[in-house]
Chains A and B, each alone.
Chain A
Amino acid sequence: MIVLLSFSLFLLVAFSTLTSATSDYHERLVLQPLPQSSLLASFNFRSNTSRDSFDERNYHHFPRALGQILQHTHTEELHLRFTTGRWDAESWGSRPWDGIKEGNTGVELWAWIDAANDEEAFARWLALTQSLSGLFCASMNFIDSTRTTRPVASFSLSGDHSASNNLHLLHGTLPGEVVCTENLTPFLKLLPCKGKAGVASLLDGHKLFDASWQSMSIDVRPICSQPDKCVVQIEQTVDIVLDIERSKRPRDNPIPRPVPNDQLTCDTTKQYHSDDTCYPLEKTADGGWSLNEIFGRTVSGVCPLGVSQSPEETICLRVPNERGVAISDGAVEIRQPDGFSRCYTLQPSSSFDLVMPEQEATTSIPLDEPVLRAERTIVGHGVERGGMRIIFDNPSNTGAADFIYFETLPWFLRPYIHTLQATITGRDGIRRQVPASQIIKETFYRPAIDRERGTQLELACSVPAASTVTLTYDFEKAILRYTEYPPDANRGFNVAPAVIKLGADEHPIYIRTTSLLLPLPTPDFSMPYNVIILTSTVIALAFGSIFNLLVRRFVSVEEAAVLNSQTLKGRLAGKVVLLRDRIKGKTSKVE
């Protein structure tokens, strides 16, 4: 029996062997075909710089621009994520890297900052977000106090830090940020070979952001093998799931066209099958592809920094051993003992391509079942209030799933935590209402303050084996000042995904839900002057009529006439009457 290594474990094991290598720059690409003709490509780039030289501003392979920002803001550990799309756990199984290299939709940033107190930490955090915003061409400068949280249990330090540091964890997320080429370019510039050589030469914005799901990550952390022998490690990853068919379309002719009649494979058992009707059969063969077709280019050699000592296994492929693969000349194939993966050592200066011919599928790579499925949706109708529904599904038949659920909500979404309810559904399909305390072991809740900070909710939950738990709570949507709405106000506002952390601090598994779209009530944006005028009119009417009554006195009608004649207006009217009479008198004389 073959021992099946999970893909995530495979990635981790593959890299742990590299840690001992003497060179301090490593890069690797792992390719794995996924069901539904998708291809997962995991790029990883890692370099170490000794702590002492880093402190002396001698950065070696560490990107200088980033290093200076980190030193200026006293950031000890940094994690930055750019993610778009949705990981389809139903078909693709568990996430690459156990989700630790993944981020919320949009931009997610968390960092441990060395500071004496919370205020100083926040000031440095703002400096960090502003600088990173400039470095990565992203709107991270919009991570203000309303989008910043201080998670309690959801994130833990992954590096080795000296105890003398007073570290503050700050976390910010921009769910509405559109990740695109302008973020990839600065990302590639941080690499020692700037994407000109090595596996990074495959990364092309057109293909990368055309993917079904993609996640870019940057992790900076100090690692100490001995107390006085520390390195600062920067690890960059790019994970993408490409639709093979879509990626193979030529760039000058990207419009999909129907398959020509003679290339259709039809189900001839259908009774309606004839020359002009066809029930298409799903392809049984694995589609053929090559790096050149998928990425539009080939790997241009090896980044020379990584191969100073010995050639590395730079590109790995996860396909069954019987699958035929053609590779460029000069590259060396090494098969792994598990029967499902093989790696290639590249020639330093010649380009490398990998061709998978179309072949009938016999065995497939076993995919890991995710340890927990999570889904979060907004329920209810109307723009005044709604409800949040979070569904956790524990597929395991034996063990309960214990995890930390962390969500940040914008301040204009006001949750009512007293309405938090839990229902549990077993495999028998019967829903039962249970007290929330049966599912939620611990709660950390920091309510939002209008225009100051968002809601932070962290729940330590436990979902029993083979059951589905649904948590619901009500919320109210605030109406904003009209200048606080974006130009596309009726599109709605993005709500950041929830982060779920399973497992121990040493080997956590992260799952993120999708981001949500929250429609808010909108005022009429064309009306400021009208509203000011109309409201003022009503106020003036009330004020005028009341004070008019208060300052005047009552008199009888006759008295009023007398008083009227004494005023200027009254006297003028009298004069007019006199004049009219005189004119009338004159005309009568003439006649």
Chain B
Amino acid sequence: MPIDRRKTAVFAGALTLRLLLLVLFPSLPDLLTGRVEVSTPVNSFKRLQEGLFLYTRNVSPYDGGVFHQAPLLLPIFALLPNAKDLPLPTAVFYSLIDLINANALITISESGQAIAGRFFSALRKDIKWDGVSVAAWFLFNPFTIATCLGRSTGVFTTTGILYALSNAVTGNSFNAMLSLGFASYLSIYPALLFIPLVLLCRDRRAQGAKQPAGIAVFALQHFALFSFSIAGLLGMSYLIVGDFSQFISATYGFQLLVPDLTPNVGLWWYFFIEMFDSFREFFLGVFWLHLAAYVGGLTVRIRRQPLFVITALLGIFAIFKPYPSISDASLYFSLLPLYRHLFPLMRYTFFAVSAILYATLLGPAFYHLWIYAGSGNANFFYAITLVWSLGLSILLSDTIFAVLRDEWEQDNPEMRGKEARQV
């Protein structure tokens, strides 16, 4: 089969590229692990190794300020050889995770849920990329490669989310909920995807021969599944760690309360460095409410395309979550090509792409000026994170505009290509 050969070529190419980079530049993984754009306090590989070091010596890794990642990662990584002495197994492991993610992307793309669903069918169906192109776009994205070589544990959350989506679009809502439970267990925020994902599962089920149960019953069933999977994972963690409250506050408490203000590409760190102490809690609440507010709005307005709602939410998380890194952006970028048919409707592509490229290139430079050269101050890097967030949010609102315009044109076929206003 020609498609399969292409897929093999892409996968083999991606794997070779990663291993080649590791062999040619042996210091590259450690360099990337140290970059604030790749590693945040909640997904840094160096912190994972410190946690692992303590865990293998029977010291609770959560009785300290360094390790804030999920306990299940510890026994998994305890099986791998020490990344310092033998970097290859870890690199191969991370590359395989990337390939698995790409495989899930192919499934999502080939299901066609992005183009035609239960309630809609895109007008520009002919403009689209096939699954292998989408996978190639993901695998050869420099952000993905940097995340993979930097060994950020964010890739496991990505796997959880992508598998939740791929199972949902193929109608396997049971596995979808388990995967989402896994992603939420690793890093809390994917739980916000629950509502659109349930809608996606139900729409997919309704397209089949058997009609699903009523929406309330369906949602409750899936919520039970979702809670069950999280409870199971937490139970396993309890067996690993022992002290339940300590690890909950060191992982989820840490992500919710944002005590570590290490710089990253997001908006929270500098805001909470400069925030007056008496308003800190208030603005924490506001920021989290702001993040959660999009779920309702998007789900209601774009009810017909729950997959797009999830894509848009992932874009919002990449901008507004407490410890974002470029791995979150790469997840969003990997889902965008599913909406290739919307690209002609977008208005500010050039501006958004320029802003993102500008931030990508100047970010490391300005960080260097602040931290190492001493010729710039924190505002340099902060300004770049503002541009990055602005670029991403322009791209995001532009895709939302394109989706709404596309839906409108479906409803009013005579208006296709004509100028429109929003009132």
Contact = CB atoms under 8 A, between A and B. Distances in A.
A554 to B, nearest CB: 4
A535 B390 CA distance: 10
Interface stretch (A102-110, A233-241, A358-366, A448-456): A448-456
Interface in A163-190: none
B390 to A, nearest CB: 6
A3 interface: no
- Give the secondary structure class of B's interface: helix
Given A523-B270, A532-B275, A557-B420, A546 B294 contact: yes
Nearest to A452: B65
A411 interface: yes
Contacts of A417: 50, 53-54
A538 interface: yes
Interface residues of A, number: 55
Contacts of B65: 411, 414, 447-450
A531 B271 contact: yes
A364 to B, nearest CB: 48
Contacts of B259: 450-451
Interface string A408-438: 0001001011100000000000000000000
B281 interface: no
Nearest to B276: A528
A382 B371 contact: yes
A417 B397 CA distance: 45
Given A527-B379, A556-B415, A384 B397 contact: no
Given A522-B378, A524-B377, A542 B393 contact: yes
A230 interface: no
A381 B372 contact: yes
B271 A521 contact: no
Nearest to A483: B277
Given A524-B377, A535-B267, A554-B404, A545 B53 contact: no
A79 B197 CA distance: 64
Given A528-B274, A554-B422, A521 B415 contact: no
A586 interface: no
A539 B392 CA distance: 12
Interface residues of B, number: 63
A549 interface: yes
A480 interface: yes
B46 to A, nearest CB: 6
A479 B277 contact: no
A539 B297 contact: no
A255 interface: no
A532 B274 contact: yes
A550 B296 CA distance: 11
A480 B372 contact: no
A441 B408 CA distance: 73
Contact of B270 (A383, A385, A535): A535
Contacts of A545: 393-394, 397
Nearest to B46: A416
The residue among A381, A383, A550, A563 with the most chain B CB atoms within 10 A of its own CB is A550
B29 interface: no
B16 interface: no
A478 interface: yes
A552 B422 contact: yes
A555 to B, nearest CB: 6
A523 B54 contact: no
Contacts of B418: 556-557
A482 interface: yes
Given A547-B297, A560-B423, A531 B389 contact: no
Nearest to B409: A554
B345 to A, nearest CB: 11
Interface in B20-71: 34, 36, 46, 49-50, 52-54, 59, 63-66
A534 interface: yes
Given A524-B377, A538-B390, A554-B415, 17 more contacts: A383-B371, A384-B36, A416-B49, A451-B259, A478-B262, A481-B261, A523-B273, A527-B274, A527-B379, A542-B393, A545-B393, A546-B294, A549-B397, A549-B422, A550-B297, A557-B419, A557-B420
20 contacts: A382-B372, A383-B371, A417-B53, A447-B64, A448-B64, A449-B64, A451-B259, A481-B273, A481-B275, A522-B378, A523-B377, A524-B378, A541-B390, A545-B397, A546-B298, A549-B400, A549-B422, A553-B423, A556-B415, A556-B419
